[in-house]
Amino acid sequence: MCQRCRYAIKVSGRVQGVGYRAFVAKAASRLDVSGFVKNLQDGSVQIEAEQTQVVLMEFLNICKQGPGWGRVDRLEYVEIPTDSSLGFRIRN
């Protein structure tokens, strides 16, 4: 188990145009998760998230739920090297 982990996450489904990035950013702020979220050209959303593994598991569960007006069909993640950046950003 890593002390502080960073995950690259790809979320597919109805996740663009439904407030999904703002939903993720709010969850990240609440859980003190660092990283970013952005829309991808294929209609999916990319997230990089860094925190303890326990917190990231909670974050992933929230991301799987998504906002009520969206729909998550698939969520995949892999562990990547940690980053020294702080905060969480929504990228275009």
pLDDT band at 2 (very low <50, low <70, confident <90, very high): confident
Question: What is the overall mean pLDDT for the chain?
Answer: 95
Is it the case that residue 40 has pLDDT exceeding 90? yes
21 is catalytic: yes
* 4 SS3 class: coil
pLDDT over threshold 80, residue 64: yes
Provide the token pair at 59: 């974050």
What's the pLDDT tens digit per position in 76-87?
999 999 987 789
Q: Which residue among 21, 30, 91, 92 is the active-site one?
A: 21
39 given a catalytic annotation: yes
Predicted model pTM: 0.94
- Asked if 20 contacts 11 with a C-beta cutoff of 8 angstroms, the reply is yes
Structural domains of the chain, with CATH = 5-91 (3.30.70.100)
pLDDT for residue 1: 65
Query: Which of these is catalytic: 6, 14, 30, 39?
Result: 39
